[in-house]
Structure formats: C-alpha cells, structure tokens
C-alpha cells in the first residue's frame, strides 16, 4: 500500500517539478502579478493586460505568472519582475498601474533599467537593491498558513505540489487516523474561527461519535466588517485548505465534505471549485485517494450572505435548506450535525494550518506562538494604519508591535486612540492595552476577543460611541430574529446609541446601556447575540468619559457625530477675497462678511466638511468644533 501511494504521488511530484523547472529555467523574464480580489479591485486586470499588450508591441518574450495575494493591500496592484538577464535580482513593484506596466516593459524588460524610483525592494538578498526583507512589514511576519500565498498560481495544482504541497497527505495516509489526531492535539492548534476550541479535541470527539456518514465542513462564511483573511487564503492557495480538509476527513473517518463559502466571494468560489476538480483529476481527492481505499468527495456550498450563518448550527440549517437560524447546543455538531451526522466544522485558517503541522511536526508548531495559543494569527489590519493588509504573526506579539512596527503606525501624525479586535463580536481597546500580547486568552481577558481576525485601528479623529453604533447597527441588521434578546435587545442598544450620537442622550442612558448589554450577553441563544453587546461593554469600560461627554455636554470628543459638531471660519486666518470654500459648499452655507472674508451659516450647513478640505493649507481657516455652541456666531450681512 505504502509503495503504491509513493509511486502514484512521485509521478505527480515529478510532473510538478518538471513544470516548475521548465518555468524557472526558461531564458525569459517572469512577471508575477497578484490577482486576488484585492489586486483586481486595484486594477490588476488592466495591469496584466497592459503587460501583455506592451510585450506584444515591443516583441519581448516574457512569462506572466498570475499569483494570489501577498497581503500587502496598501501596495496593490503588486508586480514582481524577475529579469535575470538584466543583472538585477527579482524586483517588487507596488501600485503598478497600466501606465507603469507599459513603462516597466519598455525600460526594464527591454532596456534593463529597473527604474529605482518605482522599486519597492528586491525579493532576495543582493548587493544592488535593498531587500524587502529589511522592512518590518516583511521580516516580522511569520508565515505558516499564508506561506505560499502570493507565490503560487492558485489555479495550478502543480504549482502547489512543486512547493511540497500534498506531501503531508502522503505522510498521513501511512499513519493511523488516531496518530494524526494525536499530532494535531500535541500541536495545541486552536480553532481560528474565533472561539479557540482545541482542534484535535474536536476531531477526537467526531472520531468517537457514532455515525455512518460523518461530514467535514470548512467554514468560509466570513462576514465581519473589514475582515478578509479567509477569502484571501481561498483565492491565493485553495489547495492548502483542501489538503487540510482531506487530512481532517481521514482522521475522523468522513467521506463527505463541504466548503461553505459566501456567494459574495465569486473569485473564491471559482478558485476553490477549480482546485477541487484538479485534485480529483490527480486522485488526491474523490474515490480511492492515491490508490488507497479512502474516499472523499468535497463540494462547494454558496452561502447567501447572512452573517449569522457563520455560526455553526445556523450554517448547518442553511445547508439543509432551512432558514439560517442558530439552534440550541448541545447537541454539538460533532455529535449530531448536518443531516444528523457527526460533523466537524473548522475555519479556513484552522484547516490550512494542519498540512503544515503534519509536515513539520507538532513540536515545530508549538515552538511558534505562546504556550496556551501556539501557532500564528492572521489579522486583516485596516483603518488608520500606514500599511493596512493581511498580517500573519506568531501569537504573543503585542498589539503595539503589530500596529506600529509591522503596519507602520498611524498616518498623518495622528494619535492612536483605540483598536477594535474581533469585529462586531469583539472589543474596543484603548492605548493602555497596546502592550497586550495577541493570543486567545490575553485578548479575552482584556475584554476583546481573537474573533476571526478583523482588526480596525482608530486614530484620534474617531468616536467610540459612533463605532459602537456602527457595530450594533450591523448586528441588529444581521440578527436572525429568532431569539428575543438579540432581536429586540440589540434594537434597543442601537436606539440608545443613535440617540447619544444625535445629542439626545439623557441621564440614565449609560446605566441602561450597561444593564441591557449584560442581559443580552447572558440571555441570548447563540454566539452572535451573546457577543453583540461586546463593543458597547468594552468601550463603556475604557471610554466612559466620551460617552458622558455625549450625554451631559452634548460634545463628541472625536468630533465625528454630526449633530454634535459645527464648522466655522476663523476670521483671523481667512484670506480676504478667497472663495475656495464657498465654491465647494454644496448648500450655499458659506457667505461673505463685510470685509470680504468668509463665514458659515450654521442653519444651512450640513457639516460635510468639504470647506475644511478645500481651504488652502496656508490658511487652515476652517475649524471643526464640538459642541456646536463653540462656533462663534457671525451674522450674514443683509443682501444689497
């Protein structure tokens, strides 16, 4: 048996290596273009087309290699040009527009000039161009799950195999299922969907559970605002997820598996569907995997975009064709899940970690991260940071390192105010918590949670009350409406928060918010409801003074809540005769004073802030204040 597995797989690997070598050794330049959704949104399709056209026009031979996402959203579209004949190492270019693509084709590919002003760095050590590995955004990451993302073509299974893909499957097929479960248990891997349940334990429970047709589900119903880790992984390296699913199925004894992915991720759906097809063709999936008697069918189920369907019992309901509403647990899905069968539901990142664990061993995995949270964490860091994007770091790195060193800190010399971790279920932490290590337990202790990996960084120009309102608006809209606390409770939290942001807060509102939040947390049926008040509870705990300012002074310290702010023009700074602000005001609220300076009619102003943006930096005469009463009253001169 062992021999047959090796024989079959060696043939596949040889083919993969042959293709890889042919690509590498071809005496032409290679252009790697990041073509995941993020790249495409920034114009990667046009960039690719521009390269193709320019190459054809100038009669240059080169190979275009489409890859997934490297996680550096701020730099998209990203192109790496490997042009050995020029004498330069492979060069990383950022923000490569179609125009830049044409220019690089001519100047670098044809004439050998890499145009240093556009170079971000070299992708390997050399003496000519500084390597990107010298930048914190690169060298402080630890890539386990995303190791191959952005390096391989997600649509080509051989690309994955050439990078030692599916080798852990070969290893696993020669082990007993129990041995795999033991390895995963020893690695200490915890579920990356948010709650952090030990994965090995879950698999063990499923293995022991009675059922003829056990099922594996990969949960890719990512719905947190600002989170896109799962999408990127599926789009950039679907085979690592599939390999994890196959390993899981082999370990628990399942014959069927489903990737539950949102329909709003069309590229991920397409990529993973194609990957399944390719794996089947090579007998890495389907009937008799690599010649053994182990069968596994994987299908793709497209979720219709309900946030609550990321909750495992609601997800099962949704696959069964019912309304996606959570069910009471127990029974847990590992005992009785989809169609009554024992079902393992794991997040994309959890499953994608498994091939690495089996390849390198549990001890290696344990050496990364912390004692109670081994391995890496992937965050999509967005908001007020210089280098937003996907970051994979070892657990235990502090928030400060992640935000300030790796992601470049806060832009425009603004001050850090808070970071929201874990999306609508998570918490809002202030600067005092910047030295908190990122791991499951420390974040929970601080009042936030790991969540699935959304991280929104806020600077001083943000209002925590408004952020809470935003998240409650989200959870209220996404509440399935089944249980009283979530359906009605979140509505009341939202309506109080809306009142506060409109300056209609009254005494007792904060206590009411707190009490209702605690009841919703204790009384709700599912995780969505139980965690929905978290943004309110944590921001009330750490930013109570801001809430109080909204209630008693009708003041918004972040100057965000429109009803609590006003714009006025500082007459000492305003330049006589300048009319830029007046020109851009959409409601004609700007008028001229007697001495030909400008002022704002507060009764007309809609507080869009256009005038503040437009006022030339030399004057900076437009001021924003809160409460609105701070704006001096200037009378409009009578019309002549």
Partner 1 sequence: MVRLFIDNKEIEAEAGTPLLQVCLSNDIYVPNLCYLEGTKPQASCRLCFVEIEGEDRPVTSCTVEVRDNMVVKTDTEAVRRLQRTALRFLLSTHHVKCKECPANKKCELQRLAKFLKVGLRPKNLDRHLKETETDKSHPVFNYYPNRCILCGRCIHACKREHGKALLTFAKRGIDTVISFYGEEDMSRLPGEKCIACVEVCPVKAITLK
What one-character-per-residue DSSP string does 267-292 give?
Answer: HHHHHHHHHHHHHHHTTSSBSSGGGS
Smallest separation (angstroms) from partner 1 to the CB of 477 = 5
Q: Is 628 in the site for partner 1 (CB under 8 A)?
A: no
> Residue 177 or residue 305: which is nearer to partner 1 going by CB?
305
Say whether 345 sits in a helix, a strand or coil: strand
Q: Is 483 in the site for partner 1 (CB under 8 A)?
A: yes
Interface with partner 1: number of residues (CB under 8 A): 29
Q: Sort strands 254-262 and 214-220 into parallel, antiparallel or unpaired.
A: parallel
> Residue 317 or residue 373: which is nearer to partner 1 going by CB?
317
Smallest separation (angstroms) from partner 1 to the CB of 215 = 20
Which one of residues 295, 445, 519, 548 is an interface residue with partner 1 (CB under 8 A)? 519
Which one of residues 489, 503, 527, 557 is an interface residue with partner 1 (CB under 8 A)? 489
Q: CA distances (Å), 199 to each of 24, 130, 209, 219, 233, in order?
A: 38, 41, 15, 14, 19
Q: Is 304 in the site for partner 1 (CB under 8 A)?
A: no
> Residue 139 or residue 484: which is nearer to partner 1 going by CB?
484
> Residue 219 or residue 325: which is nearer to partner 1 going by CB?
325
Smallest separation (angstroms) from partner 1 to the CB of 523 = 5
Q: Is 478 in the site for partner 1 (CB under 8 A)?
A: yes
Q: Given the structure tokens 């949960």, which residue do they identify? A: 219
Which one of residues 487, 562, 573, 624 is an interface residue with partner 1 (CB under 8 A)? 487
> Residue 492 or residue 573: which is nearer to partner 1 going by CB?
492
How many Cβ atoms are within 10 Å of 511's Cβ, its own excluded? 10
> Residue 269 or residue 516: which is nearer to partner 1 going by CB?
516
Q: Is 350 in the site for partner 1 (CB under 8 A)?
A: no
Smallest separation (angstroms) from partner 1 to the CB of 491 = 4
- What is the rounded distance in angstroms from the CA atom of residue 265 to the CA atom of residue 273? 12
Using the contact rule CB under 8 A, the part of the chain among 200-208, 253-261, 321-329, 334-342 near partner 1 is 321-329
DSSP 563: G
DSSP 371: S
529-542: b or e for each residue (b if 16 or more CB lie within 10 Å)?
bbbbbbbbbbbbeb
Q: Is 264 in the site for partner 1 (CB under 8 A)?
A: no
DSSP 87: T
Contacts of 620 (CB under 8 A, 6+ apart): 573
- What is the rounded distance in angstroms from the CA atom of residue 537 to the CA atom of residue 547? 12
Which one of residues 516, 556, 599, 622 is an interface residue with partner 1 (CB under 8 A)? 516
Q: Given the structure tokens 């965000």, which residue do they identify? A: 560
Contacts of 634 (CB under 8 A, 6+ apart): 568, 571, 593, 599, 600
> Residue 249 or residue 306: which is nearer to partner 1 going by CB?
306
Using the contact rule CB under 8 A, the part of the chain among 33-41, 288-296, 517-525, 608-616 near partner 1 is 517-525
Q: Is 592 in the site for partner 1 (CB under 8 A)?
A: no
- What is the rounded distance in angstroms from the CA atom of residue 387 to the CA atom of residue 380? 11
Which one of residues 106, 118, 270, 492 is an interface residue with partner 1 (CB under 8 A)? 492
Q: CA distances (Å), 442 to each of 110, 142, 259, in order?
A: 54, 20, 31
Contact 242, 276 (CB under 8 A): yes
With the C-alpha atoms ordered 29, 74, 304, 455, is the resulting torsion angle positive or negative?
A: positive
Smallest separation (angstroms) from partner 1 to the CB of 506 = 10
Q: Is 243 in the site for partner 1 (CB under 8 A)?
A: no
Using the contact rule CB under 8 A, the part of the chain among 63-71, 114-122, 433-441, 519-527 near partner 1 is 519-527
Locate all alpha helices (DSSP H) within 215-259, ordered by sequence: 229-236, 238-252
Q: Is 164 left (phi over 0), alpha (psi -120 to 50) or beta?
A: left
Using the contact rule CB under 8 A, the part of the chain among 38-46, 198-206, 218-226, 512-520 near partner 1 is 512-520
Smallest separation (angstroms) from partner 1 to the CB of 64 = 44
Using the contact rule CB under 8 A, the part of the chain among 45-53, 320-328, 436-444, 556-564 near partner 1 is 320-328
- What is the rounded distance in angstroms from the CA atom of residue 334 to the CA atom of residue 205? 6
Smallest separation (angstroms) from partner 1 to the CB of 503 = 17
Residues 521-550 that bind partner 1 (CB under 8 A): 522-525
Instruction: Select from 245, 250, 246, 255 the least CA-distant residue to 177.
Output: 250
Q: Is 340 in the site for partner 1 (CB under 8 A)?
A: no
Smallest separation (angstroms) from partner 1 to the CB of 308 = 8
Sites of contact with partner 1 (CB under 8 A): 306, 323, 325, 328, 476-485, 487-492, 495, 508, 512, 516, 519, 522-525
């Amino acid at each position: 048996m062992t021999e047959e597995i090796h024989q079959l797989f060696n043939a596949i690997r040889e083919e993969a290596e042959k293709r890889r070598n042919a690509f590498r050794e071809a005496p032409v330049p290679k252009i790697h273009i990041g073509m995941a959704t993020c790249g495409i949104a920034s114009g990667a399709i046009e960039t690719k087309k521009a390269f193709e056209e320019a190459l054809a026009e100038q009669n240059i031979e080169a190979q275009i290699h489409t890859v997934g996402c490297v996680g550096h959203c701020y730099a998209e579209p990203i192109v790496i040009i490997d042009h050995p004949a020029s004498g330069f190492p492979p060069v990383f270019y950022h923000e490569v527009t179609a125009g830049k693509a044409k220019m690089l084709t001519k100047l670098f590919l044809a004439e050998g000039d890499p145009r240093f002003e556009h170079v971000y760095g070299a992708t390997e050590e050399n003496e000519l161009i500084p390597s990107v590995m010298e930048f914190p955004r690169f060298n402080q990451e630890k890539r386990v799950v995303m190791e191959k993302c952005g390096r391989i073509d997600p649509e080509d299974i051989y690309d994955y195999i050439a990078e030692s893909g599916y080798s852990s499957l070969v290893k696993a097929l020669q082990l007993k299922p129990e041995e795999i479960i033991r390895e995963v248990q020893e690695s200490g891997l915890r579920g990356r969907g948010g709650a952090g349940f030990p994965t090995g334990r879950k698999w063990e429970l499923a293995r022991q559970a009675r059922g003829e047709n056990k099922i594996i589900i990969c949960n890719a119903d990512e719905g947190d605002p600002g989170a896109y880790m799962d999408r990127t992984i599926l789009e950039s390296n679907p085979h690592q997820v599939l390999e994890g699913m196959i390993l899981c199925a082999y370990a628990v004894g399942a014959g069927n598996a489903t990737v539950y992915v949102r329909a709003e991720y069309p590229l991920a759906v397409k990529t993973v569907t194609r990957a399944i097809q390719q794996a089947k063709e090579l007998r890495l999936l389907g009937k008799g995997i690599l010649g053994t008697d182990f069968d596994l069918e994987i299908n793709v189920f497209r979720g219709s975009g309900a946030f609550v369907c990321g909750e495992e019992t609601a997800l099962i309901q949704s696959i069964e064709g019912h309304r996606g509403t959570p069910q009471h647990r127990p029974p847990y899905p590992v005992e009785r899940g989809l169609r009554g069968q024992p079902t393992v539901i794991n997040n994309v990142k959890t499953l994608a970690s498994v091939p690495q664990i089996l390849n390198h061993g549990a001890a290696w995995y344990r050496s990364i991260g912390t004692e109670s949270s081994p391995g890496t964490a992937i965050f999509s860091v967005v908001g007020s940071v210089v280098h937003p994007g996907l970051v994979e770091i070892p657990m235990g790195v502090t928030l400060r390192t992640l935000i300030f060193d790796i992601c470049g800190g806060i832009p425009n010399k603004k001050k850090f105010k808070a970071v929201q971790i874990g999306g609508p279920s998570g918490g809002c932490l202030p600067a005092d918590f910047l030295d908190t290590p990122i791991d499951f337990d420390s974040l929970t202790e601080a009042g936030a949670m790991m969540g699935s990996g959304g991280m929104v960084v806020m600077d001083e120009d943000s209002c925590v009350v408004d952020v809470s309102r935003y998240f409650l608006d989200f959870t209220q809209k996404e509440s399935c409406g089944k249980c009283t606390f979530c359906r009605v409770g979140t509505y009341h939290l939202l309506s109080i928060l809306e009142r506060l942001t409109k300056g209609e807060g009254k005494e007792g509102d904060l206590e009411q918010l707190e009490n209702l939040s605690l009841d919703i947390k204790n009384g709700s049926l599912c995780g969505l409801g139980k965690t929905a008040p978290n943004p309110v509870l944590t921001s009330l705990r750490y930013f109570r003074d801001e809430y109080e300012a909204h209630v008693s002074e009708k003041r918004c310290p972040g100057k965000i809540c429109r009803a609590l702010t006003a714009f006025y023009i500082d007459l000492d700074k305003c330049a006589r005769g300048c009319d830029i602000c007046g020109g851009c005001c959409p409601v004609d609220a700007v008028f001229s004073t007697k001495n030909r300076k400008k002022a704002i009619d507060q009764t007309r102003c809609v507080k869009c802030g256009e005038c503040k943006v437009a006022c030339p930096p030399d004057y900076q005469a437009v001021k924003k204040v809160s409460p609105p009463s701070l704006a001096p009253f200037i009378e409009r001169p009578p019309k002549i």
